[in-house]
Amino acid sequence: MRALKEFARGIGLYWRGVRTWSADPTLMAIGLLPGLLTMALFVGLFVALGWGLDGATGWIADRAVGAESDLHGIVQFVAGLALIGAWLLLLVYAFVTVTSVVGQPFFERISHRVDSRLGPVPQAPAWPWWRNAARGVGEGARLLLLTAPLSVGLFLLGLIPVVGTAVAWTLGLLFGGWFVALEFTAIPFERRGMVLADRRRILRVRRARTLGFGAMAFVMSAVPPLAILAMPSAVAGGTMLARLAIDEAAEGASPGSAA
């Protein structure tokens, strides 16, 4: 029950980020620019999936049951669901990572503004911009390398009719949520001199809350028109998530004990 409450709390943090639009619409509008710059590329990748989906799933069905089998259509449909689910995990995380790198200066401003409303903000380490960008690319690549085998595993699991497909999509949402949550909380952690290992350690203790936030951000980022709007909102919500987790960790408080 406590885990469900924390999961719902994480979803609430995402929507608190959405409400930041009304508090500072000009700043949040600036945050749309990176998504607009990268969206064309990822829409193209999504269209490419649709273009080749019938051929790929037909080939899988042919090998699984034979082209003349009465089960051919069912197997092809199940394979399509499995392939789309696996592709979405890779595509959404890649979009979030690339957009975060491209829009780092914009998202830094949004995050700092939100962070400062929650209390004193520490002075960020005086690292040159290229070092921050290089670290962001490196961390994003490391996490992307993890999502690739996960996507393959989820695709294979999704080939199991009904139960396997449902489980694969659920796990894809949770895995994808975890990875995008790590990405959207990067800036406030880096402002405090913390790297990916620190984010994972602190957020892992608050896994249910982090997954609630990340799952909501993942869903919003999976729909091309909404993804552009979701980015600045998720940066704001991720800053709230990170700030709460960091404060709890500093005070030695357990997840859910803070108001």
Give the DSSP H/E element, type plus range, for residue 206: none
Residue 72 lies in a domain: no
Residue 61 lies in a domain: no
- Distance of alpha carbon 185 from alpha carbon 96, whole angstroms: 12
Q: Which residues of the chain have pLDDT under 70?
A: 123-137, 139-144, 253-254, 256-259
- Distance of alpha carbon 127 from alpha carbon 244, whole angstroms: 25
Residue 234 lies in a domain: yes
- Distance of alpha carbon 240 from alpha carbon 233, whole angstroms: 11
Q: What is the pTM of this model?
A: 0.83
Residue 224 lies in a domain: yes
In three-state secondary structure terms, 65 is helix
Write down the pLDDT at residue 219.
92
Write down the pLDDT at residue 136.
62
Write down the pLDDT at residue 259.
41
Phi, psi angle pair for 194, to nearest 5°: -100, 145
Residue 190 lies in a domain: yes
- Distance of alpha carbon 80 from alpha carbon 204, whole angstroms: 33
- Distance of alpha carbon 51 from alpha carbon 199, whole angstroms: 38
- Distance of alpha carbon 17 from alpha carbon 14, whole angstroms: 5
What's the structural domain count of the chain?
1
- Distance of alpha carbon 31 from alpha carbon 126, whole angstroms: 23
Q: Which tokens is 195 given?
A: 């790297």
Residue 45 lies in a domain: yes
Residue 35 lies in a domain: yes
Whether 102 contacts 34, CB under 8 Å: yes
Q: Which domain holds residue 237?
A: 2-50+89-251
The candidate with the shortest Cα–Cα distance to 80, out of 63, 65, 59, 103, is 59
- Distance of alpha carbon 47 from alpha carbon 55, whole angstroms: 14
Residue 66 lies in a domain: no
